[in-house]
Chains A and B, each alone.
Chain A
Amino acid sequence: MSEIEQRDYPAAARWLEEARAMDCKHSQVLLLLELYCGAVLPEYDMLETAERILSRNDLPMNYTSLALGVKGDKLLEQGHWAEAEAIADRILVLEEKPYARLVKWITSLRRGDQAEAQRHISFTEKQMPKPLFHSDVAGGLLLLGRRTEAMEELRKAVAAGFRVFPTKSAISQLATSEEFAAYCRQQEDGACP
C-alpha cells in the first residue's frame, strides 16, 4: 500500500501481480489495491473490481462500502442518477460516508432540491479535508455540466493544497487541462496546479 500512498501506481501494480502469483494468504487485500490501481492504470477497471467485491459476502464492511462508492460514482458518470442515489441511500442507512453525501448532493441539485442539497453538502464539508472537499464538489459540478463553477471549486481546492494527479477521472483531466490553467490565470490570486 505504500506504493499507493506515494502514488507510484505502476509499482503498486507490479506488487499486485507478484502477490497474486504467490497465492498470498490475505488475497482480499489485493482487491482494494486493484481498486486503487483502477483509478489510474488503464489495464485495471475500477467498476469491474467493485462489482467483484460486491458479489462477495465474506469481505469486511469497508470493502463493500468503498466498492459501492465507486459504483455510485460510475453510475453518475453514466447518467444513471436514480440508481446512484439508491446506492448512496443504501450506504447512508448504515454509515455516515462523505462520498455517499456527495452523491445525494449531486442528485438533489439535479432535481432542483436546493435545501436537501445544502443539507448533504454541509455534512460533507464537516467531514472532509478542505482540498478534497473542493475537488469532489468540483467533480460533482462537472457531472452536472456546470463547468465554470467546477473550475472555481477546483481552483479553491488547489489553493487549499490539493495536489493534482493524473487519473482517469474527469476532474483530474480538467485539472491538468489548459482550459483550467487559463481560468486560474484570470483569477486574482492566480492559484494554478
Chain B
Amino acid sequence: MSLETALWFLPGLVLGLTIHEAAHAVSAKWLGDCTAERMGRISLNPFKHLSALGTLALIFLGFGWGKPVLVNLYNFRKPKFYYLLSSLAGPAANLVIAAAMLGVLHLPLGPLWRRGILYAGLINLILAVVNLVPVPPLDGSKIWPCLIPGMRPTASRRWSIIWLVLLIVSLKTGAIGRLLEPVLDFGLGLVPRAKIHMAPPEAFPEILLASADVLEAYYWMEPEDGAEPNEFGACWESVEPYPANRTISTLQNRLAQAGWRRLEYLLDEPNRPGGKEWAISRDEEGSVQYHRWTEHWINDLDQVVFIELEYMIALGEEDPGNELEVCLLLLEPCKMREELDLYKKSRPMNSRPLKALNESSQGG
C-alpha cells in the first residue's frame, strides 16, 4: 500500500477506532457497567482510545487496535449475554459507519470527497470484519466464548501472547488478507450505481476520460492461439511468446495512441511487468490459463478514484482471438453508458468482448 493510499485510509481509521471503542463503553454502560465511563472512554476524543502498542503495530505490522475498553462482567445481570452484546457493539458501530459512508456516496459530491468517503467506508468494513477474528486482542476472542455453552467469557484471556503471535503469522501468511478480499468485494458491490461493464480496449481511454469517477478497472489479455503451455513449473517459458512486455506494450500502444498519457507511468513501474505472482487454472474444456496480477494506483488524475489492473493471459485452443478485454467498475455508469453507446455505433459488433459489452449494457 502506498503512503498516499494509507493517508486516504487514515481519517476513516481514526474515526472508526474511536467510535468502535466508544461504542463498547456506551453499550457497557447501558447494560449496567460504568467502569469504562469512569475511565473516560465514553468520548469521541481519539486520544482517549488510541493504544500506543496498537498504533505501533498498525505502522509496522499493517494492522492495529485501539486501547481495550475495560468491562466488569460482574456488573452485568446476564454476564455472558451482555458481554457478547458489548463486544459486538464495536464491530456493529463500524458496520453502521460503513453503511452510512456508502449511503453518503449517493449524494452529489466532488471526486475528492467521494474518494475520502469511500475509503472511510471500506476501512470501517475492514475494521468490523477483522475485529470478529477470534484472536485476542480482537473482539472476536471475546465473542466466541460467550457463544459456547459452558465456556467462561474470559477464557480467551489466557495465552494472550500465543494468540498474538498467531494473529501476526496469519497476517503475514495472507490468511487475513484472504478473509478480507471477499469483504472488500462485498463492500465495493454496495457502492451505489457501481456496475461492471465490458468494453474493448479502444473504448477505454474515451470511457475513462468521459467518466467522472472510475472506481476500478480490470483488464485481461487473451493472446494469439497456437501457444501450448508445457507444464506447471515452466509457465514463464510457456508464455514467452506472449511476454508481459509485449502484452503491456500492446496496451500501451493502443492507449497511448488514444491519448491516455498515464499509461507511461504504469509501464515505468520498476517492478512491472515482471510479474512474480503466477497462477494457473483450467477452464471447463480443460484449457490451461495463466493469470498474472498487477496492480496500479493512479492518483493524479482528478477524476479517478483508483484503478486496479489485472492481466490474465489465457492460453487455450478454444481462444482464437488476440483481444484485450477491459472491465470497468464505475461510480457513474450512466456517463459511461453514453460513451459506450457512441462507441458501439462506430464499431462493428464482431468480437467476443464487444458482445459481452452489448449484453452487459442491455442487462444493466
Q: Contacts of B79 on A, CB cut-off 8 Å?
A: 93-94
Q: Contacts of A60 on B, CB cut-off 8 Å?
A: 35, 70, 72
Q: What sequence of 0s and 1s flags, for each residue 44-60 of chain A, a beta carbon within 8 Å of any chain B beta carbon?
A: 00000000000001111
User: Is there a chain B Cβ closer than 8 Å to A95's Cβ?
Assistant: yes
Q: Contacts of B152 on A, CB cut-off 8 Å?
A: 93-96
Residue of A63, A90, A94 most packed against chain B (CB within 10 A): A94
**For residue A67, which residue of chain B has the nearest CB?**
B74
**For residue B79, which residue of chain A has the nearest CB?**
A94
Q: What sequence of 0s and 1s flags, for each residue 27-65 of chain A, a beta carbon within 8 Å of any chain B beta carbon?
A: 000000000000000000000000000000111110111
Q: Do A61 and B37 touch (CB < 8 A)? A: no
Q: What is the CA–CA distance of A58 and B74 in the complex, to the nearest angstrom?
A: 10
User: Is there a chain A Cβ closer than 8 Å to B250's Cβ?
Assistant: no
Top 7 nearest A-B pairs (CB, nearest first) are A58-B34, A58-B38, A64-B74, A61-B72, A57-B75, A94-B73, A57-B34
Q: Contacts of A58 on B, CB cut-off 8 Å?
A: 33-35, 37-38
Q: Contacts of A96 on B, CB cut-off 8 Å?
A: 152
User: Is there a chain B Cβ closer than 8 Å to A68's Cβ?
Assistant: yes
**For residue A96, which residue of chain B has the nearest CB?**
B152
Q: What is the CA–CA distance of A134 and B80 in the complex, to the nearest angstrom?
A: 33
Within the complex, the shortest CB–CB distance from A144 to chain B, in Å, comes to: 28
Q: What is the CA–CA distance of A68 and B74 in the complex, to the nearest angstrom?
A: 10
A residues near B (Cβ < 8 Å) are 57-61, 63-65, 68, 90, 93-96
The contact size tier of chain B is 10 to 19
Within the complex, the shortest CB–CB distance from A94 to chain B, in Å, comes to: 5
Q: Contacts of B73 on A, CB cut-off 8 Å?
A: 61, 94
**For residue B153, which residue of chain A has the nearest CB?**
A94
Q: Contacts of B37 on A, CB cut-off 8 Å?
A: 58
Q: What is the CA–CA distance of A38 and B177 in the complex, to the nearest angstrom?
A: 54
Q: Do A61 and B70 touch (CB < 8 A)? A: yes
Residue of A57, A59, A63, A93 most packed against chain B (CB within 10 A): A57
9 contacts between A and B (CB under 8 A): A57-B72, A57-B75, A59-B72, A61-B70, A61-B71, A65-B74, A90-B74, A93-B79, A94-B152
**Overall SS of chain A's interface:** helix
B residues near A (Cβ < 8 Å) are 32-35, 37-38, 70-75, 79-80, 152-154
Q: Contacts of B32 on A, CB cut-off 8 Å?
A: 57
The listed residue (A57, A63, A95) touching B33 by CB distance below 8 A is A57
Within the complex, the shortest CB–CB distance from A59 to chain B, in Å, comes to: 6
Q: Taking A58-B34, A61-B70, A65-B74 as given, write out 16 further A-B residue pairs in contact, using a Cβ cutoff of 8 Å, ordered by the A residue number.
A: A57-B33, A58-B33, A58-B37, A59-B35, A59-B72, A60-B70, A61-B74, A63-B72, A90-B74, A93-B79, A93-B80, A93-B152, A94-B152, A94-B153, A95-B152, A95-B154
Q: What is the CA–CA distance of A58 and B73 in the complex, to the nearest angstrom?
A: 11
Q: What is the CA–CA distance of A61 and B34 in the complex, to the nearest angstrom?
A: 11
Q: What is the CA–CA distance of A140 and B203 in the complex, to the nearest angstrom?
A: 86
Q: Do B154 and A94 touch (CB < 8 A)? A: yes
Within the complex, the shortest CB–CB distance from A91 to chain B, in Å, comes to: 8
Q: What is the CA–CA distance of A95 and B80 in the complex, to the nearest angstrom?
A: 12
Q: What is the CA–CA distance of A64 and B35 in the complex, to the nearest angstrom?
A: 11
**For residue B83, which residue of chain A has the nearest CB?**
A94
Q: Contacts of B34 on A, CB cut-off 8 Å?
A: 57-58
Q: What is the CA–CA distance of A57 and B154 in the complex, to the nearest angstrom?
A: 19
Within the complex, the shortest CB–CB distance from A160 to chain B, in Å, comes to: 26
Q: Contacts of B70 on A, CB cut-off 8 Å?
A: 60-61
Q: What is the CA–CA distance of A65 and B32 in the complex, to the nearest angstrom?
A: 17
Q: What is the CA–CA distance of A95 and B72 in the complex, to the nearest angstrom?
A: 12
Residue of B32, B35, B38, B152 most packed against chain A (CB within 10 A): B35
Within the complex, the shortest CB–CB distance from B73 to chain A, in Å, comes to: 5
Q: Contacts of A63 on B, CB cut-off 8 Å?
A: 72
Within the complex, the shortest CB–CB distance from A57 to chain B, in Å, comes to: 4
Residue of B71, B72, B75 most packed against chain A (CB within 10 A): B72
Instruction: Answer whether A64 and B154 are a contact pair too, CB < 8 Å, given A58-B34, A58-B37.
Output: no
Q: Contacts of B75 on A, CB cut-off 8 Å?
A: 57, 64
Q: What is the CA–CA distance of A68 and B79 in the complex, to the nearest angstrom?
A: 16
Q: Contacts of A94 on B, CB cut-off 8 Å?
A: 73-74, 79, 152-154
**For residue A94, which residue of chain B has the nearest CB?**
B73
Within the complex, the shortest CB–CB distance from A70 to chain B, in Å, comes to: 14
**For residue B34, which residue of chain A has the nearest CB?**
A58
Q: What is the CA–CA distance of A7 and B302 in the complex, to the nearest angstrom?
A: 70
Within the complex, the shortest CB–CB distance from B252 to chain A, in Å, comes to: 63
Q: What is the CA–CA distance of A59 and B38 in the complex, to the nearest angstrom?
A: 8
Within the complex, the shortest CB–CB distance from B319 to chain A, in Å, comes to: 62
Q: What is the CA–CA distance of A63 and B74 in the complex, to the nearest angstrom?
A: 10
Q: Contacts of B33 on A, CB cut-off 8 Å?
A: 57-58
Q: What is the CA–CA distance of A145 and B199 in the complex, to the nearest angstrom?
A: 90
**For residue A57, which residue of chain B has the nearest CB?**
B75
The listed residue (B38, B72, B80, B153) touching A64 by CB distance below 8 A is B72
